[in-house]
Structure 1
């Protein structure tokens, strides 16, 4: 297959995945590496390429924005932006091998939280009352993760929020797309300054991601929440297995 067409299709699929449940970078990152882009640069390029698609999804979901676990949107957004800045700077200073070993365990934690979060949440929410400071600290850490790598950060946000608030996954799509886009904004600025992005490849993937993100967001607003949850669990499990294979086999 022609390389630009291959990257365009990867961006289209990833954009739709991000709009529906997250995890689109696990399509674009291997695709970029397959075309010869070094892994560190592929990570930065993938973040830049998926940014427009995420922004398009956030725009479609804008009517559904509200508080996050009872905390107003603006301070939550600021915590995410700050976390994204810290995470992107850490990525540029950390050996990739260390991160490759840690990632599967983080994804496993997110998958288990998504799988058992609603049941555990019913038991914990009456006993576990977190203030705004604790929730903002959690969101800052999620922003750090988003800026550091970004893979499945949307899944991790939904896992944490559903555990604390008990909202269904479909209702969390609006704040998820906004917060992921926020973390990516500052991360991409850092990557651009460090000249870690291959812009030609990012442009091709990004064009596909815009179309996929817009279409996926419209589809996500019409799908049954149970279907979205089921698809999210399958996707999360597949991503986790994929990263364990990459890291240890």
Structure 2
């Protein structure tokens, strides 16, 4: 019963955080590992748990997606799917011991990306002239990361779009949600076929995260953004410290 409560609270909190600002992986992955799911399976199950949020987000940004050339969207989606598939396959061949070493580094990196997302995007925008707009190499690399470990993916994608020279934040968010949905879809399918998903935990967290996603909108109007960002950063740094400590 205690494990069930932990999963429900983590799923609900992740759904709310992803709706408001991102960072849901900081809750779902540690909660799954805490309740006894092996690290690699926990990462796969976490990806399944937050998948409904990407689906609803993609549907909500359909008007912005239609502003892009269809051929361009198809190419970007195919690149994303290829990178996500490679990243997911890399996770499948990772041992729990190896992934346990990588997890704190990835969590810490994702926390820093989240915390300094604004300056990162500003730096990326300043460098946009030296980067090919809508280039495949950068998107493929980001998609490999997203297929292997989903934390901080949204901020990384927005930074990449800034490097491409994009400036319309609504279109950037639309493209981010659409590509995140495609990326997560191929990851979830790969993990499911490989039998890596703990479905009982995943279903509980999917339901809780969906409820949390709906609750996120009114919470966003109540909680000051600096307070929320500080809370997410504290969770990220705290979880990173816990997983670093587990190595020794």
TM-score by length of 1: 0.79
CA displacement at 1:78 relative to structure 2: 1.3
Give 1:120's aligned residue: 123
SS in 2 for 1:26: helix
Q: d(CA) in 1 for partners of 2:2 and 2:114? A: 35
Matches of residues 17-56 of structure 1 in structure 2 within 5 Å? 17-56=17-56
CA displacement at 1:202 relative to structure 2: 0.5
SS in 1 for 2:79: helix
* CA distance 1:245–1:61, change in 2 (3 Å): same
CA displacement at 1:239 relative to structure 2: 6.0
* CA distance 1:160–1:236, change in 2 (3 Å): farther
Taking only aligned residues, the RMSD between alpha carbons, in angstroms, comes to 3.4
1:176 maps to 2:172: no
Q: Is 2:115–2:229's contact at 8 Å kept on the other side of the alignment?
A: no
Q: d(CA) in 2 for partners of 1:106 and 1:14? A: 18
Q: d(CA) in 2 for partners of 1:92 and 1:106? A: 21
Q: Is 1:162–1:168's contact at 8 Å kept on the other side of the alignment?
A: no
Give 2:132's aligned residue: 130
Give 1:206's aligned residue: 206
Q: Is 1:19–1:54's contact at 8 Å kept on the other side of the alignment?
A: no
Q: More deviation in 139-148 or 162-171?
A: 162-171
* CA distance 1:35–1:167, change in 2 (3 Å): same
* CA distance 1:23–1:66, change in 2 (3 Å): farther
Give 1:60's aligned residue: 60
1:198-224 C-alpha deviation (Å, 9 max, x unpaired): 1011101001122333554x669x97x
Give 1:96's aligned residue: 99
Q: d(CA) in 1 for partners of 2:83 and 2:203? A: 26
Q: d(CA) in 2 for partners of 1:67 and 1:239? A: 37
**Counterpart selection for 1:248 from 240, 244, 247:** 244
Q: More deviation in 140-149 or 109-118?
A: 109-118
Q: d(CA) in 1 for partners of 2:203 and 2:43? A: 14
Q: d(CA) in 1 for partners of 2:170 and 2:227? A: 11
Q: Is 1:53–1:212's contact at 8 Å kept on the other side of the alignment?
A: no
Q: d(CA) in 1 for partners of 2:30 and 2:236? A: 15
Q: Is 2:33–2:39's contact at 8 Å kept on the other side of the alignment?
A: yes
Corresponding residue pairs, total: 240
TM-score by length of 2: 0.79
Q: More deviation in 194-203 or 19-28?
A: 19-28
Q: d(CA) in 1 for partners of 2:132 and 2:175? A: 19
1:26-51 C-alpha deviation (Å, 9 max, x unpaired): 11111222222222211111111111
